[in-house]
């Protein structure tokens, strides 16, 4: 399936909840966040039907996101139902890792093999400051259990924040010691903490102090990161630069919010409502036509997106 600019669209990110157990200062809107009522969230049955329709149309890579997806009950069973579908090529999960140690066995038994874990600093005090009181040790426990279990690849998402985590040495050490792929991500411009923006170019300058990095093959996945590694490094270092080095020309994804809004572009506030027709008896063909409509509206690049999404979590950037 291709869009109006001949980009192959084969990847869908599905948010299963808007709830999160962290309050990252750069992610939450300035005003008190109002969660979506549970009955307005797509049910697992509705989500599974949507996945099946998307599969028929050629989308065969799916990422489960939130909020924090592990806060939704019975997530492992839903993942299992997706993994077992015919023609599925890839299913992955993005998590902040706080609950990972509790669900690691269930996720493995469900057939999940790929994880993205958001860890913005390896300093406990700074982690608590950034996340509103989160426990870094609990996250690292989940990471270590995932490695022991055999999850691969494991990608570590790090939103670059001036003055808080722009000393990259701890993450270089982590990727040297463990087979993890650390990706530094530029802060989104609609963040309430935009004054903390650090460009990928600035981060690369800092990275050069730790040795000669060579280009590396990307790990499995459909993300936009460019990867590098030092000689002997078990993992790698990557960069996702939606502003200074945007990757719109190769964007292959659609996004579905927890309340059933299909968004063809992260930088646009335009969306297609899938929940209403799903609940009003629309046929698979009619839902598929709505997906095609969103595809036709997918802009050529972020500069033509026609608006910004306000008050949205930032962790959907990474692939």
What is the C-alpha separation between 74 and 157, in angstroms, rounded? 25
Question: So where are the chain's domains?
Answer: 11-304
Handedness of CA 118, 121, 122, 125 (dihedral sign): negative
Peptide bond into 67 cis (omega under 30): yes
pLDDT of 312:
33
pLDDT of 222:
61
- 255 contact partners, CB below 8 Å, separation of at least 6: 12, 13, 14, 15, 262, 263, 264, 266, 316
Q: What tokens does 214 get?
A: 């060579």
Homologous superfamily assigned to 11-304: Aldolase class I (3.20.20.70)
What is the C-alpha separation between 209 and 192, in angstroms, rounded? 31
Q: What is the 3-state secondary structure (H, E, C) of 76-130?
A: HHHHHHHHCCCCCCEEEEEECCCCHHHHHHHHHHCCCCEEEEECCCCCHHHHHHH
What is the C-alpha separation between 194 and 190, in angstroms, rounded? 7
What is the C-alpha separation between 15 and 40, in angstroms, rounded? 13
pLDDT of 29:
60
pLDDT of 192:
82
**Going residue by residue through the chain (319 aa), what tens digit of pLDDT does each one get?**
899 999 999 999 999 999 999 999 998 765 566 789 999 999 999 999 999 999 999 999 999 999 999 999 999 999 999 999 999 999 999 999 999 999 999 999 999 999 999 999 999 999 999 999 999 999 999 999 999 999 999 999 999 999 999 889 999 999 999 999 999 999 987 788 889 999 999 999 999 999 999 999 999 876 789 999 999 999 999 999 988 888 888 899 999 999 999 999 988 889 999 999 999 999 999 999 999 999 999 988 877 765 433 333 333 333 4
What is the C-alpha separation between 90 and 38, in angstroms, rounded? 28
pTM over 0.85: yes
């Amino acid at each position: 399936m291709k869009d109006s600019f001949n980009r192959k669209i084969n990847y869908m990110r599905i948010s299963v909840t808007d709830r999160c157990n962290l309050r990252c200062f750069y992610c939450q809107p300035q005003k008190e966040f109002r969660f979506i009522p549970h009955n307005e969230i797509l049910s697992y049955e509705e989500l599974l039907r949507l996945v099946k329709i998307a599969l028929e149309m050629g989308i065969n890579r799916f990422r489960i996101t939130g909020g924090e997806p592990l806060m939704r009950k019975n997530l492992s069973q839903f993942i299992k139902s997706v993994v077992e579908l015919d023609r599925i090529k890839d299913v992955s999960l993005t998590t902040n890792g706080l609950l990972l140690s509790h669900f690691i066995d269930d996720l493995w038994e469900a057939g999940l093999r790929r994880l993205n874990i958001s860890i913005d600093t390896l300093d406990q005090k700074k982690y608590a400051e950034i996340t509103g009181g989160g426990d870094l040790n609990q996250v690292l426990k989940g990471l270590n259990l995932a490695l022991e279990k055999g999850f691969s690849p494991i990608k570590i998402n790090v939103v670059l924040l001036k003055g808080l985590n722009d000393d990259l040495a701890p993450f270089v050490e982590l990727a040297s010691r463990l087979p993890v792929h650390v990706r530094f991500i530029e802060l989104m411009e609609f963040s309430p903490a935009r004054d903390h923006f650090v460009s990928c170019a600035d981060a690369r300058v800092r990275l050069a102090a730790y040795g000669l990095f060579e280009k590396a093959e990307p790990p499995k996945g459909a993300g936009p990161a460019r990867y590098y590694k030092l000689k002997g490094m078990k993992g790698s270092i990557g960069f996702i630069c939606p502003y200074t080095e945007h990757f719109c020309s190769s964007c292959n994804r659609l996004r579905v919010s927890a309340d059933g809004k299909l968004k063809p572009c992260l930088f646009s506030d335009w969306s297609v409502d899938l929940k209403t027709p799903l609940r009003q008896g629309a046929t698979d063909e009619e839902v598929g036509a709505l997906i095609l409509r969103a595809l036709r509206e997918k802009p050529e690049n972020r500069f033509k997106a026609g608006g910004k999404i306000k008050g949205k979590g930032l962790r959907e950037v990474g692939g």
